Amino acid sequence: MMAHPTDRSAVCAYGLLLCCDLILWVTLVTVLLWCKGTFILGLSSLWAFRALSWNLLNKVSSVLVDQSLQPLLKRWMTLLCFLPAVFDTLRTLVSGGVCGFSPVPEPAMVVLNAVSATLVYMVWEMAFPCNGSKRDAKKEKKEQEAKALLTRVIQYSRPDCFHLGAAFLFLILAALFESCIPYYVGKIIDVLSGEYQHGNFMWAIGLMSLYSLGSSLFTGLRGGMFMCSLSRLNRRIRHMLFQNLMKQEINFFEENKPGSLTSRLVSDTDKMGRSIAMNVNVLLRSLVKTCSMLVSMLSLSWQLTILTCIEMPLLALLQNHYNTHYQKTSRELQDCKAEIEQVASSAINAVKTVRSFRAEAQEQRRYEEALEKKLKVLTCKGINSAVYLLLRRVVSVSLKVAMLLLGRSLISSGQLTSGSLLAFVLFQKDMVTNMKHLVYVYGDILNTVWSAEKVFQLLDRKPKVTEAGVLVPQKLEGRVTFDNVSFSYPSRDGKALKSVSLELSPGKMTALVGPSGGGKSSCVCLLQRFYEPQEGEVLLDGVPLHHYQHQYMCSQIATVSQDPVLFSGSIKHNIEYGLHGCTIERVKEAAKKANIHDFICKLDQGYDTDVGEHGGHLSAGQKQCIAIARAFIRNPKILVLDEGTSKLDINTQVAVQEALSGSAGQTLLVVAHRLQTIEKADHIIYMEGGMVMEQGTHEQLMAKRGRYYHLREKLFILDSEQQN
Ligand SMILES: Nc1ncnc2c1ncn2[C@@H]1O[C@H](COP(=O)(O)OP(=O)(O)OP(=O)(O)O)[C@@H](O)[C@H]1O
């Protein structure tokens, strides 16, 4: 395990190497003094000296210091050795003249170099920790995962490379133009405070306005391009996510609440794209601006530039603490939001049930508790951010005061004009913000990328049902066989069906009867392939169901349930749901068979009448009629009525029965509690406890005097009592 930069052994190693470096500087100065000007330290000699120092320090560290500290020390030694050479080279390029280390190193600059190298090293280590340093293995793994997620988000942005390329170009132009503005503001002040020359004044104002206009134009274009690529990315991800959601097995929707799924689909996708795009935008803008400003500031005053650079590590330390807390609360907040959405949507969707059970107060309490939880997290987040802002302000103001004092003494010594000081102050303000963004925005990208994790989890999820086959037979007889089928729901331990074997014959009506929980609806679910049996097989014309193409299966099997789901939209839309290019005549014909046509005609807007959310504008019986029409219009080979006529009045039931008997060759499965409805069935199967107990015709079962007989007796007595 590697050491941490602040470990005691690491601090001792820094001290040792720092002493060695000082000895090297002292030796160099002694040699220079001894040569009395016959040898001076030019830029190339400075680079050579620092390269030699780096080599020597490395040797010392490899001999005297523990191996575990080597990766940490390498970074620091590199900064310590090469910062002076980089600094003097930049100064020579920008302003020429005397530098800090050549021709003779200034002692103050040597000390300043050690301090700034250590501060820069701290920032570097915090922003991009060295792989070798001792870190939480869990944290490291998470970071790797975050990087992988980020790469994936970037890959998804590939189709928008044109928009992104244009956005980056505008971003660079905007940043360059913006960083020129303070320089010309300073020039204007100098012209005004010195001997006034109108030409110079107009020239400076003209250039400043030009750069301001250019910066605004390119900023606008950059924003537009980023928004455009972001919206495209969002649309693509949401489309893919929804597509994959629709493929999932039914159990997935039972395990995941609708509120949290819609939250992934809506807010997480949005957040993912927005936060990453924003951060990349900020990262690049800050990078370009920081570089161009650093050059401008060095050209104005290197002393003030160094002072400015000290602010950064201090702010970085604060930010690092704040970020850790921010990540934690952000995650908590996200969970709270999902919970609030879930509580509200479940109560609103089931408002009738809530009201009928007088559970309004209970639902209000649940909602209030969820809100309270969110409020607590928000308060904690607020306090933390207030403390952070205060400390940040204190650091900034202290350094600003120091900078102004130093600026004043530079002006008195003639090294700076007041206009340049103003320009520097303007640069400095922007510079600190940009450097801070630069260092931390990368970390922030890794943090915000976690919203992408949840989206990708859903995107990658493979449905846990065997993929549908490709079988599309020309002719289907419609014989359904349950061959020794055993099944338990994924969310339950016990078996819902135990070795069930039964057959549904074409052109016949088969009825499933029995007490509640007997397994009747489970059989229907398996027939629709909502679930897969653990043992045995469900066969259609002797072929397992999963061999058939999904679309084909849906066109051959239609189900009407006790509480059919209608979608908000017209009656026509609900009847022809899932069919393409259906004529109104076919819709009317199906509605007539379901005995609902007359009712629809009486409505003001006829077939265009909106049924409301979940068909809320219709009665339960009318909803069932529309669902029956929806099944009839498909002319399915296999029709399943799972208590599908239970809410119809007697006239409608008769009409539907007639329509059903008119469809020759259709396999009809009826699940019913009211035994009168199935007395005419060709075959009756009695199920209890997930097993087939009895089967035969009504007469055969009555003659047997078994469970069917007793159930019928019970229901008969109950019916007579109700009538009396
Ligand atoms: N989605 C589900 N998840 C877990 N268990 C379920 C689910 N649906 C039904 N069950 C369980 O499976 C068993 C069989 O239920 P099923 O709905 O098939 O009975 P049923 O005969 O149709 O009952 P009913 O006549 O009341 O509709 C029951 O014990 C039930 O609790």
DSSP calls for 521-549: HHHHHHHTTSS--SEEEEEETTEEGGGB-
What pLDDT is recorded for position 1?
Answer: 46
Residue of minimum CA distance from atom 26 in ligand 1: 516
Cis peptide bond upstream of 103, omega within 30: yes
Q: Give distance in angstroms: CA of 9 to centre of ligand 1.
A: 66
- Residue 3: pLDDT band (50, 70, 90) is low
* Closest ligand 1 atom to 492 CA: 4
Q: Is 105 in the pocket of ligand 1 (CB under 6 A)?
A: no
Going by pLDDT thresholds of 50, 70 and 90, the confidence category of residue 378 is very high
Q: Which two tokens stand for residue 297?
A: 């500031």
**Considering only CA atoms, which residue is closest to atom 24 of ligand 1?**
516
Q: What is the pLDDT, as a whole number, of residue 372?
A: 94
**Closest Cα to atom 6, ligand 1: which residue?**
489
- The mean pLDDT of the chain is 81
pLDDT in tens, 228-238: 888 888 888 88
Å from CA of 8 to ligand 1 middle: 65
Radius of gyration of the chain (CA): 39
- From the number of C-beta atoms within 10 Å of its C-beta (0-12, 13-18, 19+), residue 88 rates as buried
Q: Average pLDDT in the 674-680 region?
A: 73
For atom 11 of ligand 1, which residue has the closest CA? 496
- Residue 689 Cα to ligand 1 middle (Å): 10
Whether 495 is in the pocket of ligand 1, judged by its Cβ within 6 Å, is: no
Extract long-range pairs of 158-167: CB within 8 Å, 24+ residues apart: 159/232, 159/236, 160/228, 160/229, 160/232, 160/233, 163/225, 163/228, 163/229, 163/232, 164/225, 164/226, 164/229, 166/221, 166/225, 167/222, 167/225, 167/226, 167/229, 167/281
Q: What is the pLDDT of residues 25-34, one digit of tens each?
A: 888 888 888 8
Q: Which atom of ligand 1 is nearest to the CA of 523?
A: 18
* Closest among 504, 452, 512 to 642, alpha carbons compared: 512
Q: Tell me if 518 CB under 6 Å of ligand 1.
A: yes
What is the per-residue pLDDT across 49-82, written as a single tens digit (0 to 9) for each?
888 998 888 888 888 777 777 777 888 888 888 8
Six token digits for residue 613: 């959310």
Q: Do residues 30 and 49 make contact, with C-beta atoms less than 8 angstroms apart?
A: no
Q: Is the CB of 651 under 6 A from ligand 1?
A: no
> Which H or E run contains 503?
strand 497-504
Q: Which segment of 103-117, 438-452, 504-518, 676-690 scores lowest on mean pLDDT?
A: 438-452
370 CA to centre of own chain: 22
Instruction: Specify the pLDDT at position 130.
Output: 59
For residues 542-548, give the mean pLDDT: 89
CA 419 to centroid of ligand 1, rounded, Å: 82
Assess whether the C-beta atom of 724 lies below 6 angstroms from ligand 1.
no
What distance in angstroms lies between residue 503's CA and the mean position of ligand 1's atoms?
21
Q: How far apart are CA 18 and CA 46, in angstroms?
A: 18
Whether 180 lines ligand 1, by a CB cut-off of 6 Å, is no
pLDDT of residue 447: 64
Contact 506, 639 (CB under 8 A): no
pLDDT tens track for 218-257: 989 988 888 888 888 888 888 998 998 888 888 888 888 8
Q: Is the CB of 517 under 6 A from ligand 1?
A: yes
Q: Alpha-carbon distance 692 to 557, whole Å?
A: 23
Instruction: State the DSSP string of 204-239.
Output: HHHHHHHHHHHHHHHHHHHHHHHHHHHHHHHHHHHH
Q: Is the CB of 516 under 6 A from ligand 1?
A: yes
